[in-house]
A and B are shown apart, each in its own frame.
Chain A
């Protein structure tokens, strides 16, 4: 069975600090995708990144960076120089093909609530 664990329920940082959100996943599949989404107080999920299981290159996008480590089944997300607008709940998600079912399912972690204090 697939599972996504975000061990940090809530994190508070002071503005301009760096913060890393952890994500550990479990799956027996060799082909899968990992996602990060941001959910601000308004509720709408915002797509941040998608990474496939064959691409372990780390990625940087502005103040955001992602570290994918297949050896430890982790896909951690770092925000550099955090800002108040980064305050939101962040979800890590695993997307895989359910063998034999022919369906595609996105499994979410429980989310990490990030509060950036001015």
Chain B
């Protein structure tokens, strides 16, 4: 299967700082990438859909100004958590879809964010 990487795999930061998470599709081009958030023992919740060259589409309840998404190229999307607070601590997972509708989504290994 295709490979999606995420960097960093874990990060600890102080409250009020910003953290950037990168998501890369290593061996295929992805016009669409997705960002999910997963709290302990819970399911994945879609935060936003990231389309290359255009603005991300955010799910209801997700603050656009807090979770900045940039899909700069067909292989890279970034999620920046701005002014992070302890409640932002979570497991963030990106995925990249290969092809169009119905195409497989390949998931990154996730980034565990801990905000102190």
User: How many Å lie between the Cα of A64 and that of B97 in the bound state?
Assistant: 24
Interface flag for A103 (CB, 8 Å) = yes
Nearest CB in chain A: distance from B69 CB, A: 14
Instruction: Decide if A97 touches B46 in the complex (CB within 8 Å).
Output: no
Question: Chain B contacts of A104 at CB under 8 A?
Answer: 32, 49, 97, 100-101
- Which secondary structure dominates chain A's binding surface? strand
Question: Chain B contacts of A108 at CB under 8 A?
Answer: 43-44
Count A-B contacts at CB 8 Å.
53
Closest to B59 in A: A105
- Which secondary structure dominates chain B's binding surface? strand
Nearest CB in chain B: distance from A21 CB, A: 14
Question: Chain B contacts of A97 at CB under 8 A?
Answer: 101
Most buried by A among B42, B44, B101: B44
Instruction: Decide if B57 touches A43 in the complex (CB within 8 Å).
Output: no
Instruction: Decide if A50 touches B101 in the complex (CB within 8 Å).
Output: no
Number of interface residues of B (CB under 8 A): 25
Interface residues of B in 89-114 (CB under 8 A from A): 91, 93, 95, 97, 100-102, 104-110, 112
Interface residues of B in 51-97 (CB under 8 A from A): 57, 91, 93, 95, 97
Most buried by B among A33, A104, A105: A104
Nearest CB in chain A: distance from B80 CB, A: 21
Nearest CB in chain A: distance from B44 CB, A: 5
User: How many Å lie between the Cα of A110 and that of B39 in the bound state?
Assistant: 11
Interface flag for A11 (CB, 8 Å) = no
Interface residues of A in 6-56 (CB under 8 A from B): 33, 35, 37, 42-45, 47, 50, 52
Instruction: Decide if B102 touches A110 in the complex (CB within 8 Å).
Output: no
* A–B complex contacts, Cβ < 8 Å, 11 sampled: A35-B105, A43-B109, A45-B44, A45-B93, A47-B1, A103-B49, A104-B32, A104-B97, A106-B105, A108-B43, A113-B41
For the complex with contacts A43-B110, A44-B107, 18 further pairs of A-B residues with Cβ separation under 8 Å are A37-B107, A43-B93, A43-B112, A44-B110, A45-B44, A45-B95, A50-B104, A52-B102, A91-B43, A104-B32, A105-B46, A106-B34, A106-B46, A106-B95, A106-B105, A110-B43, A111-B42, A111-B43
